[in-house]
Amino acid sequence: MLKNILELFVTFARVGVMTFGGGYAMLPILQREIVERKGWATEEELTDYFAIGQCTPGVIAVNTATFIGRKRFGVAGGIFATLGVVFPSIVIISLLAGVITQFSELMWVKNAFAGIRVCVCVLIANAVWRLGKKSIIDKWTAGIFAAVAVGAVFTKLSPVAFVLAAGVCGVVLRALPGKGGAAE
């Protein structure tokens, strides 16, 4: 059991050290490590964990690690996965905190951060594309996607409101006759 818990910690520490740009940028790395390499979750489960992590308090990456760790090895797994994903950030931020203000105005540092931001945008777009291919499966899910996309662009509603509304729409639409729900 200890070996499994340590493997969980190391896996999430590796994910944490390679993640720049927050929880959304972490999605492709999580998919590769957790779904493809380890088989600890399916793509659908990972998508669900991200959705739940989005509408619960805390950081999406931490919440997702906690969900996956708990699924694998109970409470201890949740704790060690969470510690693993935050450990690299704690170490790196602690090391950088004292010197970042001294270097933040250097042109090469500004340029590096500009390049990193562009890279993060691509990683997020790739994650959205991959999730979209698995999630948008018919005209109803396409409609939910379009409504949320328009709402997100043109309103200042909380992401929690979108997640909850989309969940309700999914339940209602699947309950309609011919949609695979209990009414069939």
Answer yes or no: are the C-beta atoms of 53 and 60 closer than 8 Å: yes
pLDDT at 52 (0 to 100): 83
Q: In this model, does residue 182 exceed pLDDT 80?
A: no
pLDDT tens for 49-101 read 888 877 777 777 888 889 999 998 999 999 999 999 999 888 888 888 777 77
Q: How far apart are CA 8 and CA 10, in angstroms?
A: 6
Q: In this model, does residue 180 exceed pLDDT 70?
A: no
pLDDT at 21 (0 to 100): 62
Answer yes or no: are the C-beta atoms of 134 and 47 closer than 8 Å: yes
Place 105 in a pLDDT band, splitting at 50, 70 and 90. Answer: confident
Q: How far apart are CA 33 and CA 169, in angstroms?
A: 31
Q: How far apart are CA 22 and CA 178, in angstroms?
A: 39
DSSP 19-85: --SSHHHHHHHHIIIIIIIS-SS-HHHHHHHHHHHHSSSS-HHHHHHHHHHHHHHHHHHHHHHHHHH
pTM: 0.61
pLDDT tens for 10-22 read 999 988 887 766 6
pLDDT tens for 22-32 read 667 777 888 88
* Tokens read off for 47: 């998508």
